[in-house]
Amino acid sequence: MKVLIVEDNKILSDNIKDYLEAKWIDSKQLFSGENVNYELSSTNYDLVILDLGLPTIDGIEVCNRIRNVGNNIPVLMLTSRNTINDKIAGFKSWSDDYLTKPFEYSELLMRIYALTKRGFSLKWNIIKLYDLEVDVERRKVLKDWEEIELTNIEANLLIYLLQNKWQVMTKENLLEKVWWEYDAFNMTRTLDIHIWYLRKKLWKDLIETIRWIWYTIN
């Protein structure tokens, strides 16, 4: 996962970056809103953390500019303003969530996970690949018109891989998107086991392993 932090308070921005990177979330910092659209167009981000009270261009205008170019990336607005009118103004700018300063970093993390998971879950309703058809909303999987029973985790993993088919995905990325966490020893083994079950239930060449580090859908 990669997050863009747009916050003019350098101490707070540095603290957010340090916390996210401790949770295996890559991040980049901007301290004003002028170059946000350029940054989003040049780098693939999963979410924007956006301060409402930015200098020169405030967060509402920055969010409007993001939406005006057709970018639907999740935006989490940060602000010290906590009146209902401030919150309404934030949501009118098409931000996806609103967090009032000061905040607990654990809550920030949970909101990031919720927003990014929502984004991949609703990306498409029906996904088709060869003789495989997946209903994303119902988590229903058909192979040759026969329903295949998958666990919820198996279904989420398959859906994310299919939504990013032919892209090479690291184990860390899959764990972040499907399990919302990354533990180098325990979770990677869990991931490998779920990949094995998917191959067994569908077909063995569906998911390719590359150098024991990456996975991709063929």
Give the pLDDT means over successive 10-residue stretches in the chain (218 positions): 94 96 92 93 90 89 86 86 58 72 91 72 67 82 89 84 76 73 60 87 80 61
What burial class does residue 68 get, using C-beta atoms within 10 Å of its C-beta: 0-12 exposed, 13-18 middle, 19+ buried? exposed
**Domain parsing of the chain, residue ranges:** 2-120, 124-217
Which residue stretches of 54-151 are H helix?
59-68, 84-92, 105-121
pLDDT in tens, 140-196: 899 888 899 888 788 888 888 887 776 777 777 777 777 655 555 556 678 888 888
2-120: CATH topology is Rossmann fold (3.40.50)
Is the domain 124-217 a CATH 1.10.10.10 member?
A: yes
pTM here is: 0.57
The radius of gyration computed from the CA coordinates of the chain, to the nearest angstrom, equals 19
